[in-house]
Amino acid sequence: MSSPSIIQSIAPTGDANLELKVRLGEVDDSMRQPAMLFLISAVLWLLAGTFLAIIAAIKATNPEFLGATEWLTFGRVRTAHLNAMIYGWGNNVIFAVAPWIMGRLSRARIRHTNILLVAGVFWNIAITIGIIGILKGDMIAVEWLEMPAYITPLVAISYALVGVWVIIAFRWRQSEHVYVSQWYLLAAFFWLPWLYIVAQVMLVFEPATGVVQSLTNWWFAHNVLGLWLTPCALAAAYYLIPKVLGRPIHSYYLSVVGFWALALFYNWAGVHHLIGGPVPAWVISAGTVASVMMVIPVIVVAVNHHLTVVGLHKQGWASPTIRFVVFGAINYTVVSLFGSMMALRHVNETTHFTHFTVGHAHHGVYAFFTMIMFGAVYYMMPRLLDREWPNAFLIKAHWWMCAMGIVLMVVALQVGGWLQGMQMNALTEDGTPVYTFLEVVENTKPWLWARSLSGLLLLVGHLAFAVNVFWMVFSPKTQDRVTEPTLLAPTTEQA
Predicted TM-score (pTM) of the model is: 0.92
Instruction: Supply the pLDDT for residue 1.
Output: 42
| Enclosing domain of residue 239 | 235-476
Give 375-435 as a DSSP string: HHHHHHHHHHHTB--S-HHHHHHHHHHHHHHHHHHHHHHHHHHHHHHHHHH-B-TTS-BSS
Write down how long the chain is. Answer: 495
The number of folded domains in the chain is 1
Let me know: does 83 contact 90? Beta carbons within 8 Å: no
* Residue 332 buriedness (CB in 10 A; 0-12 / 13-18 / 19+): buried
Mean pLDDT computed over 348-370: 95
- State which amino acid sits at residue 329: A
Mean of pLDDT over the chain = 90
Quick check: is 35 in a domain?
no
Q: If phi over 0 gives left and psi between -120 and 50 gives alpha, with beta otherwise, what is residue 486?
A: beta
Q: What is the CATH number of the domain that holds 250?
A: 1.20.210.10
Let me know: does 375 contact 321? Beta carbons within 8 Å: yes
Q: In whole angstroms, give the CA distance from residue 54 to residue 417.
A: 19
Alpha-carbon dihedral 361, 77, 153, 273, rounded to 10 degrees = 30
Instruction: Supply the pLDDT for residue 89.
Output: 97
Quick check: is 161 in a domain?
no
Nearest Cα neighbor of 153 from 134, 112, 113, 125 is 125
Quick check: is 437 in a domain?
yes
Nearest Cα neighbor of 494 from 1, 7, 4 is 7
Mean pLDDT computed over 475-482: 66
Q: Which residues fall within 8 angstroms of residue 45, CB to CB, at 6 or more apart?
A: 84, 85, 88, 89, 92, 127
Beta bridge partners of 427: 433
Q: How far is CA 215 from the centre of its chain?
A: 23
Quick check: is 439 in a domain?
yes
pLDDT tens-place string over residues 83-140: 999 999 999 999 999 999 999 998 887 777 888 899 999 999 999 999 999 999 999 9
**C-alpha neighbours within 13 Å on the C-beta side of residue 6:** 24
Quick check: is 48 in a domain?
no
pLDDT tens-place string over residues 11-35: 555 545 777 777 788 888 888 999 9
pLDDT tens-place string over residues 375-417: 999 999 999 998 899 999 999 999 999 999 999 999 999 999 9
Let me know: does 6 contact 491? Beta carbons within 8 Å: yes
Q: In whole angstroms, give the CA distance from residue 471 to residue 463.
A: 12
Quick check: is 96 in a domain?
no
Quick check: is 204 in a domain?
no
Quick check: is 392 in a domain?
yes
